[in-house]
Structure 1
Amino acid sequence: MAYDGTLFHGWQIQVKERSVQEEIQKALKKITGEDIIIHSSGRTDAGVHAENQVFHFDTDKNINEKQWARALNHFLPDDIYIKDSEAVSDDFHSRYSVKKKEYHYRLSTNTYSPFDRHTIYQYPYGKLDLEIMREAAKIFIGEHDFASYCVYDEYGNTIRTLYDFTIEEKDGFFTFKLIGSGFRRYMVRHIVGGVIQVGAHRRSIAYLKELLDSKGEKKCLFKAEPEGLYLMHVHYEEE
């Protein structure tokens, strides 16, 4: 599925706020008459987008597997779109079966555009040094304790593996691409936020490495804005 996160208070259902999960569950109720709880590959925060989010659910309703997408799209608002649907085995889980996730962060250093305000972070502080940001990205690749770059509690495991982290730029538009075994809350935004500081020559690569090595004793205080973040791909098979 894909969704524009602008008008959502995130993925997870909220008491008084609009959420992606709630909209889909309401649509499923209309189709099946059942009170279905859906399970996603992971939660996205308020303002964050997805191009290929995945969720699963159980139902007694007998509909052809490919018809589910069409039926859901009939009842869903315009900022959510189900791309495909298929039946899965009982041991599949949208979250726990994940092998890799890929996030992209989009940033522009060009003149401000009101048309892009919800879909890309429009960096207002001038140019960024692409090459030094690429060097900074390298320190995050591999298995690390990312406690300094995410929100966590005492029960949460903050050790993750980042398989790839690349940064591309064309005509003032930057794309940060991160592929990892998984990501804790705000982890991508804190990592990108830190790398942006290096690209602006406000912080050093050594400073980011010091934060990473502290394993949570020192916290990254730089968090990139939500509108630039996209969940791009969820992988369920080893390549």
Structure 2
Amino acid sequence: MTLFDRFDEKTPLNGRLAMGVEYDGTHYCGFQRLSHAASVQASLEKALTQVAGEPVTVHASGRTDSGVHATRQVVHFDSPMPRSEKAWIFGANTNLPKDIAVRWVKAVPDTFHSRLGALARRYRYLLINQLNRPVLERANVTWCRDPLDVAAMHRAAQALVGEHDFSSFRAAGCRSKAPWRHLHFIEVSRHGALVVVDVQGNAFLHHMIRNIVGALVSVGRGAQDEAYIKRLLALRDRKKGDVTAPACGLHFVDSRYDESFALPQEPLGPNLLAFTGEWTGERDIPDSPMVRQRRGHAQKDHEPIKQENA
């Protein structure tokens, strides 16, 4: 995939389809449909239903919190009617609000599942570190007016890499059955006033990244030493944890699958970080039983997917 690929308007796509979706989450309760507030899922299903002329239900690679953004949310749905690539993308975008857009669509085998087949998920948290409040970036970053020691934040964060019990970093209302997650990497870097926390893992607990960022900012401000993150992790107690960073700085930027599905590759978002030049799929995924199981499933047809915590 390049930035200027033309969409096919002749070949009908039906059966199971994967789709890449981008959204500004400012005015939504998150991706998942809820009865009491606007959701990305409800808007997307409504738009796709208008294109198909039949009801469409989508399944996403992961939930996002209220106010969180996404540049590569991967969803799948079973198409009730054949439509061309161009018709799906242009038709959906015509019927979507301006803060949600479909980036691509691709036919995939029936074995593909956007959530249960994901090998890794990646987020980037953006902080603008300057004395005066931001204006143009205000909906996409979190403002921190205290000088941050980014090198100390990066060193402290390395205690989180690997498989751990992340109870100290999960929301009180988290519904996951187990607090264990495998963090593939976490990097903290500075680009002028912009401070980026870039993190990838097999999955994340409710508020996990925002709670990690809140604790890292305490380290960066000098309120806590570099061993603080390691101590919090060992406590396994959210009540001993730090503040939760605001949702507006968090961006869901990638969801990874077995290469056999050949999903489109594209620049990692958000566009504030386009200068890094990194595209999806360029980082290795550490080996684990879950990764081996899901890669093996991708090579087989019509085999039920094991219901693991995703």
Residue 11 of structure 1 aligns to a residue whose secondary structure is coil
Q: Which moved more, 1:172-181 or 1:9-18?
A: 9-18
User: Of the candidates 192, 199, 209, which is equivalent to residue 220 of structure 2?
Assistant: 199
Give how far 1:217 is off.
6.5
TM-score normalised to structure 1 length: 0.93
1:67-146 mapped onto 2 (5 Å cutoff): 67-110=87-130, 111-124=132-145, 126-146=146-166
> Hey, what does 1:32 align to over in structure 2?
52
| Alpha carbons 1:67, 1:85 under 8 Å: kept | no
After superposition, the Cα gap between the structure-2 partners of 1:21 and 1:207, relative to the gap in structure 1 and judged at 3 Å, is same
Question: Following the alignment from structure 1 to structure 2, what is the Cα–Cα distance between the partners of residues 211 and 113?
Answer: 31
Structure 1 residue 185 corresponds to structure 2 residue 206: yes
After superposition, the Cα gap between the structure-2 partners of 1:99 and 1:122, relative to the gap in structure 1 and judged at 3 Å, is same
Question: Following the alignment from structure 2 to structure 1, what is the Cα–Cα distance between the partners of residues 106 and 238?
Answer: 44
> Hey, what does 2:274 align to over in structure 1?
none
Q: How many residues align?
A: 238
Relative contact order (alpha carbons < 8 A, sep ≥ 6): 1 or 2 greater?
A: 1
User: Of the candidates 3, 7, 29, which is equivalent to residue 9 of structure 1?
Assistant: 29
One-letter amino acid of the counterpart of residue 121, structure 2? K
| Alpha carbons 1:102, 1:233 under 8 Å: kept | yes
Q: Which moved more, 1:24-33 or 1:45-54?
A: 24-33
* Runs of 4+ displaced beyond 3 Å: 152-155, 216-219
After superposition, the Cα gap between the structure-2 partners of 1:39 and 1:17, relative to the gap in structure 1 and judged at 3 Å, is same
Residue 205 of structure 2 aligns to a residue whose secondary structure is coil
| Alpha carbons 2:72, 2:253 under 8 Å: kept | yes
Specify every segment of 5 or more residues in structure 2 that has no aligned partner in the other structure, as ranges: 1-20, 260-283, 285-310
| Two-structure CA RMSD over aligned residues (Å) | 1.7
Structure 1 residue 171 corresponds to structure 2 residue 204: no
Give how far 1:155 is off.
5.6
User: Of the candidates 73, 76, 82, which is equivalent to residue 62 of structure 1?
Assistant: 82
After superposition, the Cα gap between the structure-2 partners of 1:207 and 1:122, relative to the gap in structure 1 and judged at 3 Å, is same
> Hey, what does 1:18 align to over in structure 2?
38
TM-score normalised to structure 2 length: 0.73
> Hey, what does 2:293 align to over in structure 1?
none
User: Of the candidates 66, 78, 100, which is equivalent to residue 46 of structure 1?
Assistant: 66
